[in-house]
Chains A and B, each alone.
Chain A
Amino acid sequence: MSEPAALAVEPAALAVEELVAGYGGVLALRSVSISARPATITAVLGANGAGKTTLLRAISGVVRPRAGRVLVGGQDVTGHRPEDVARGGVAHVPEGQGVIAELTVAENLRLGALWRRGRTTRAEALAEAYQRFPALAGARRRAAATLSGGERQMLVIARALMARPRVLLLDEPSLGLAPKIVSQVMELTAQLRATGLTVLLVEQNARSALSIADQGIVLNLGKVVAAADAAALAADVGLRKHYLGF
């Protein structure tokens, strides 16, 4: 719903309005709306098949929405091609990581920032990445295929950050990772918020996600069944049992 007063003040970092999207004859999202302010983490929760991944794909342009709008910093990017949405400041880290296994760690990282002008900004971004992720610095010449699951997750997040995005879409970063690594990833995500990044975090592990999130929405069969502060969601025992599994 439109709130003209709020829009006049500052556009949401990321806004999704009544998005409808699907695959072939099946709709995975039926009129989903979200709004996220800058420097916040929004957890997107729900069971398998609820539409969470489709939501991220519809935002980043991998899937073309059938109705509704996607606004990044007030700009309409609905249905734009993924490469253009990426250049508009949205970084999407897909589920299953997506390291390019045949390239080295350094090449994967460099790839993240190639479209930015200026070799110095790119070099700076690379240095920053190595500083924040020392494990990657040590592995920089190795083929990405040789990394462990946890290292790969770090790599794709670092790679996504190379472009200095405004919005980060994380799809199931904890999938297949040991609990210790999962908490590292969550901690990292919380740190990123502090740098001004707006994060949309899709997670099956609702408990971890809500522990760092500011707000959350719960999807079921493509519809939003709950949207509230993270604390409120975590406190709602009925909701947790029914949709979130804890």
Chain B
Amino acid sequence: MTLLRHLAAAAVLALLIVILSIKLSAFRDYQIAEIGCYVAAVAGLTMLVGLSGQISLGHGAFMAIGAYATGLMLLHLHWPLEVVLAASALAAALSGAVVGVAAARLRGPYLAGATLMLAVALPTLAIRYAGLFGGDQGLSVTINTPGFLGPTFPLTRWQAWLTCGCALITLVVLANLARSRVGRSWRATGDDEVAAALAGLNVARLRVLAFVVSAACAGLAGALLAVTTSIISPGAFTLTLSIALLTGAVLGGLGTLAGAVWGSLVLVLVPTYVTDVAASHGLSSSAGSNIPVAAYGVVLVVVMLVFPDGIQGAVRRFRQLASRVLTLRGTPRGRAPASEHQEEGST
């Protein structure tokens, strides 16, 4: 059963993360936690864009909603953490419904434009209503490691476990959703909207549902980011974040959950790596901080031009090639040439 297979895979990954989090330093644990947040957000986004075919340049806004909801709840309501996280995801899901309904008729660049403006405008609410949201400084929240882990359990490791655990749950849910009727319907509307409508699918409702689900994932990710970084401010949810999420989804391989993982790894690890390389070569501060930026841009361009299906696409192609080589099965061109059937229309 697919559910069991997904759960098994998640269990393996969980084990891997536990081991890594124990072996690696606190800073690496923090990075693992970051990666976990991104995976949750990018996974939802890649479903939205890759399956249901709707582009969003504004998912950072849903992360902000989740984060601020978490901050406000932790500060004012003192609910247990699990409830807070779930409620934040719900809050983001509701906003996703609103946006999804408003955007149901938009396509392509118009949808991109609308979500872009959302990403730019929403964080300014925090400044406008500074009393509630803390303005530019934002809100600060702290969480503690749960009692049952003992008093010496490092916070960063707990954060890594928490975020990655939630990310894995998200991945399992999304994986099952993708294989279900809903997922297939999404794919149908994404591939050919007119045909899907003619086949009886309620395209508008499916599109809104996709927004709701992906927004919930982003909201959860934002909530997790809040408890990981302990600070919730508008500066953390700029347009750059929204663009980074989309970049991660496309880079990793659109529409694939494995791609969400690859993309998140790249988003968190590559900039730090390039900065380290620059620093170790002793570059001046302005060059030093900008070379990673320029290099990151080059990486994006090159990967997109050379690997349009993203990292997961390259992995898949490599696996096909490898399996063909291993089973010694003829040329990679596969299909039999020149089938005998006529083409439709005049040729």
Chain A residues in the interface with B (C-beta under 8 A): 22-23, 25-28, 30, 48-54, 95, 172, 204, 221-222
B interface, CB within 8 angstroms of A:
335-347
Distance to closest chain B CB from A200 (angstroms) = 15
Closest CB-CB distance, B336 to chain A, in whole Å?
A: 8
10 A-B pairs whose Cβ atoms sit less than 8 Å apart in the complex: A25-B336, A26-B338, A26-B341, A26-B343, A48-B345, A48-B347, A49-B344, A49-B345, A51-B347, A204-B346
Q: How far is the CB of B99 from chain A (nearest CB, A)?
A: 34
A172–B342 CA distance with the chains assembled, in angstroms:
19
A-B contacts besides A26-B341, A26-B343, 16 pairs, CB < 8 Å? A22-B338, A25-B336, A25-B338, A25-B339, A26-B338, A27-B338, A30-B338, A48-B345, A48-B347, A49-B342, A49-B344, A49-B346, A51-B347, A52-B347, A53-B346, A221-B340
The reply to whether B335 and A23 form a contact with Cβ atoms under 8 Å apart is no
Q: How far is the CB of B346 from chain A (nearest CB, A)?
A: 5
Structural contact, B337 and A25, CB atoms closer than 8 A:
yes
Chain A residue with Cβ nearest B333: A25
- Given the interface pairs A25-B335, A27-B337, the reply to whether A221 lies near B342 with Cβ below 8 Å is yes
With A26-B341, A221-B342: A54-B335 Cβ-Cβ less than 8 Å: no
Is there contact, CB below 8 Å, between B338 and A53? Answer: no
**CA gap between A25 and B338 in the complex, in Å:** 6
In the bound complex, how far is the Cα of B345 from the Cα of A27, in angstroms?
14
Q: Which of B335, B336, B342 has the most CB of A within 10 A?
A: B342
Chain A residues in 8 Å Cβ range of B343: 23, 26, 28, 49
Chain A, Cβ-Cβ closest to B338? A27
Contacts of B339 in A (CB 8 A): 25-26
Bound-complex Cα distance A30 to B338 (A): 9
Q: B residues within 8 A CB of A48?
A: 342, 345-347
- Per the bound structure, the CA–CA distance linking A145 and B260 in Å amounts to 46
Query: Nearest chain-B residue to A50 (Cβ)?
Result: B347
Contacting residues, chain B, for A172 (C-beta < 8 A): 346
In the assembled complex, the Cα of A52 lies from the Cα of B340 at a distance in Å of: 17
Q: Are A54 and B338 in contact (CB under 8 A)?
A: no
The 10 closest A-B pairs by CB, nearest first: A49-B342, A27-B338, A28-B347, A54-B347, A53-B346, A51-B347, A25-B335, A48-B346, A49-B343, A49-B347
A240 to B336, CA, bound (A): 33
- Complex interface: chain B residues within 8 A of A221 (CB): 340, 342
How far apart are the CA atoms of A123 and B251 in the complex, in Å? 53
Question: Which B residues lie within 8 Å of A25 (CB)?
Answer: 335-339
Taken together as a complex, chains A and B put the C-alpha atoms of A48 and B345 apart, in Å, by: 6
A12 → chain B, closest Cβ, in Å?
24
Per the bound structure, the CA–CA distance linking A95 and B341 in Å amounts to 22
Q: Which chain B positions have C-beta within 8 A of A95?
A: 346
Give Cα distance in the complex from A222 to B340, angstroms. Answer: 10
Measured CB to CB, the nearest residue on chain B to A219 is B347
How many angstroms from the CA of A51 to the CA of B339 in the assembled complex? 14
> How far, in whole Å, are A30 and B342 apart by their CA atoms in the complex?
13
Give chain A residues whose Cβ lies under 8 Å from the Cβ of B337: 25, 27
Residues of B within 8 A of A49 (CB): 342-347
Q: How far is the CA of A53 from the CA of B344 in the complex (A)?
A: 12
Q: Taking the nearest CB of chain B, how far is it from the CB of A215, in angstroms?
A: 21
CB distance from A244 to the nearest CB of B (A): 14
Chain B residues with Cβ below 8 Å from A27 are 337-338
Nearest to A48 among chain B residues (CB) is B346
Please give, as numbers and ranges, the residues of chain B lying within 8 Å of A204 by CB-CB distance: 346
Q: Report B-chain residues with C-beta under 8 Å of the C-beta of A53.
A: 346-347
Which residues of B are found within 8 Å of A54, using beta-carbon distances?
Answer: 347
Question: Could you say which residues of chain A place their CB within 8 Å of the CB of B345?
Answer: 48-49
Distance of A26 Cα from B338 Cα, bound (Å): 5
Q: How far is the CB of B331 from chain A (nearest CB, A)?
A: 14
Closest to A27 in B: B338
